[in-house]
Amino acid sequence: MPDPDKHNLDRLGERLQAAKAKQQPKPHQVASSALAQGTRHAFGIAATTLVGGGIGWMLDRWLQTGPWLFLLFLLLGIAAGFWDLLKAVDREAKALQQRRNEQDNEG
């Protein structure tokens, strides 16, 4: 009977499309996921800068060492933010590479 077969084939086609879409997200999905993660890290850089600056400023007041400790910890805070970003991008690139290896092994 053609009808149930066609129905099953159509369902299979839809499931294949969905699986392919998960493997290869469309450009606007890539952009919005990059936007979400990027905002989190941009905000993270600003936050670590503030925390570093705060620590440096309090240490300065306690040790009376002029503005030098403040500047040092401010720079450390900025570096910490960028470090977090680099680690996250590294993780993302590794996950991407793993997915690509899986795809190559399957196909």
Partner 1 sequence: MANPLEQFAIERYAELSVGGADAAFTNASLFMLLILGITLFFFWLGSRNPQLVPGRWQAALEGMAGFAVDIVDENIGPKGRPWVPFIFSLFIFILVANVVGLFPYSFTVTSHIVVTFAFAALVFLICVLIGIAHHGLRFFTLFVPPNTPIALMPIIVPIELISFLARPLTLSVRLFANMTAGHILLKVFAGFVISLAAAGGIWAATSVVPFAMTVAFYGLELIVAVVQAYVFALLTAIYLNDSINLH
Partner 2 sequence: MEAEAAKYIGAGLAAIGTGIAAIAVGTLFALFLQGALRNPSAADSQRPNLIFGFAVTEALGIFAFLVALLLLFAV
Q: Which residues bind partner 1 (CB under 8 A)?
A: 43-44, 47-48, 50-52, 55, 73, 76-77, 79-81, 83-84
Which listed option, partner 1, partner 2, none, makes contact with residue 89 (CB within 5 to 8 Å by class)? partner 2
Give the one residue of 10, 30, 67, 102 binding partner 2; rule: CB under 8 A: 30
Count CB neighbours of 73 within 10 A: 22
C-alpha atoms less than 13 angstroms from C-alpha of 85 in its C-beta half-sphere: 19
Contact positions vs partner 2 (CB under 8 A): 24-28, 30-31, 33-35, 37-39, 41-43, 45-46, 49-50, 81-82, 85-86, 88-90, 92-93, 96, 100
